[in-house]
Amino acid sequence: MTAVTEAAASAARAASGPRIAIVGATGAVGTTMIELITERGLPYRELHLVASSRSAGRILTVADREYAVRAIEEFDFSSVDVAFFSAGTSVSQKWVPVATEAGALVIDNTIAFRMDPDTPLVVPQVNAHVLDHRPKSGVVSNPNCSTIPLVRLLRGIEDRWGIRNAVVSTYQAASGLGYSGVEELQESSRATLQDAGAEYEPHHFPPGLAFNVIPKIDRFLDSGFTLEEEKMLQESRKILELPHLDVTTTCVRVPVANCHSESVYVECQSPVDRAELVEVLAALPEVEVHDRETPTAFPTPAVVDSSDLVHVGRIRSTQNNPRAFWLWLVADNLRIGAALNAVQIAEELIDRGTL
């Protein structure tokens, strides 16, 4: 295809693409979503950037074109076909019903509608088939940032061996709370390095994330688990369509700017051969197995930052149970855990003719 015909084809795709709004366009996930829409060539014939009134009027450049950010209070959702929401749960609870009532299909990145039976909870590599029809609620939910990479691996494992249970410990980065979370980590780290005895009043990560780990993400429930841990159980069951799946989790915040990591123990219904397990995982879409060739290789957040792959390493069979194994995964929580998954949902909706 020549440059001229390629440009013409691209223009044709854009002309037939949906009208898109990004709510929360100035936040960490919103700006990452804008980058990905451009990088992946998601077709759209109109793009609207929306945020709170305090961000209204800001100018953002997308594909060499300048866009003024619109205030959500003044935005007409009947002017778009699909609206990405990534501005926090309270914003989604208030404005998503407004958007769907106006006729927009919403792809929501908060907890607000994830467990609604009329709202599909989607990881395209796992359950894209649920996007064949427009949801009754008018909403497609994006799962939790730690659930997404986990279920992408569990799908292949369940299909081959069946899963009896999984035990997961997460090591979640400060960017899980957006730009302000990263800024607090940086500021508190600088303050501690300058004066180890100085008092720093944390806002997002009490008692302070600098040179520390905090075994609590989100609020505590009566069960003793946190909401983040409960999310991973309930969401995994819904996405994998395994209502009795046994997943138990400890979610930990760590002093890392970006990329979540997880230590995962899985016990299967039948014996698991490590070599076959490596090949099953490596065959999954957009997964890189680091110890496929070198058994001691493993990924870390610093190495895989800003990656669109789920990175896996430390795959090892347990010594006393042939049905069980451990693995370590790392994934960019802003991309795979949020923005990329949302964009891939939109791509599937377009490809399936649902949008």
Residue among 48, 251, 259, 260 flagged as catalytic: 260
In the DSSP assignment, the letter for residue 271 is -
Tokens representing 329?
A: 């995964």
Residue 216: exposed, middle, or buried by beta-carbon count in 10 A (0-12, 13-18, 19+)?
A: middle
Tell me the three state secondary structure of residue 83. Answer: strand
d(CA 258, CA 129): 31
d(CA 249, CA 275): 26
Q: What are phi and psi of 23, to 5 degrees?
A: -95, 125
Amino acid making up residue 185: L
Task: Give residue 339's Cα distance to chain centre.
Answer: 6
Q: What is the dihedral of CA 326, 304, 158, 245, to 10 degrees?
A: 80
d(CA 117, CA 6): 42
Active site residue 203: no
Question: Do the beta carbons of residue 26 and residue 53 sit within 8 Å?
Answer: no
Q: What is the 3-state secondary structure (H, E, C) of 130-159?
A: HHHCCCCCCEEECCCCCHHHHHHHHHHHHH
d(CA 167, CA 236): 13
Amino acid making up residue 313: G
Residue among 145, 251, 259, 268 flagged as catalytic: 145
Q: Give the CA count within 13 Å in the CB-facing half-sphere of 13.
A: 13
Active site residue 145: yes
Question: Strand pairing partners for 263?
Answer: 169, 328
Cis peptide, bond prior to residue 299, ω within 30 of zero? no
The dihedral sign for the CA sequence 301, 304, 309, 311 = negative
d(CA 174, CA 177): 6
The residues carrying an active-site annotation are 145, 260
